[in-house]
Structure 1
Amino acid sequence: MSSSADNMNEVTRMGDLYDFYGALLTERQRQIIEMYHVEDWSLSEIAESLSITRQAVHDQLRRAGEQLEQYEAVLQLRAAARAQQEAWSKLMRVWAKVRHELSAASQMEMDAAFASMDRTLPGFIGGEVDA
């Protein structure tokens, strides 16, 4: 895998972890992560904006990333969300294969139940969770 793909996977992973655990970070850590990962500011731009050194920004990002990884190691929310997404995808593939075997009324009832579940899952999953 190229370093560009590795970097993209790391950015995606950090975004996922931030979605799940960002509220557990300090306000300053959240601010720096959002500036860096969401708004795409450079370390120097963040440092200037917050009147701190570039090294302090780097250290804050590293520590916040380590904390997010520790939360995931213990709580496993990202891993659970990935498993939930995979199970949901499998269920929908099976449903597509067997739905024609039910009556139209049963199909509509199942479609409504799936739609209801589909509306609740994004809140649990926390956004896109990539492999």
Structure 2
Amino acid sequence: MRLPLPFLLARMATVAALTAAALLPLNSAALASPAAAAARPAAAAAKECDDPPPEQIAVLQKAFNYLDSEHKGYLTPAEAVIMLAAAGVDLTEAQVEDLVDENHDGKIEFAEIVHYLTCEAELP
């Protein structure tokens, strides 16, 4: 079943707004301090990072759940591309499978999205 384009565009706008709201504090910290911006790539390379605050987790979960409309508990790579694009991360489905899907099962779980966005992605 194909969904109408206005419905898809409205859905993408909602995900974009939710994801941007969750990631704004992460982006602001890097912009506020050159030292913080310089430290971010080193932290990502070491894959050691702080967990985002519970408020950010809740907003990211809301965006994730919005895309997971069938309540499968995971996103397909195509759905993950939409969520990541809303966060300003441009990846193809193949890149999502390679970079985000840590266990390479084709199912992008919430924890994998959060880990990628907070530890590895270079956010705008």
TM-score by length of 1: 0.29
TM-score by length of 2: 0.30
Answer 1 or 2: which has greater helix percent.
1
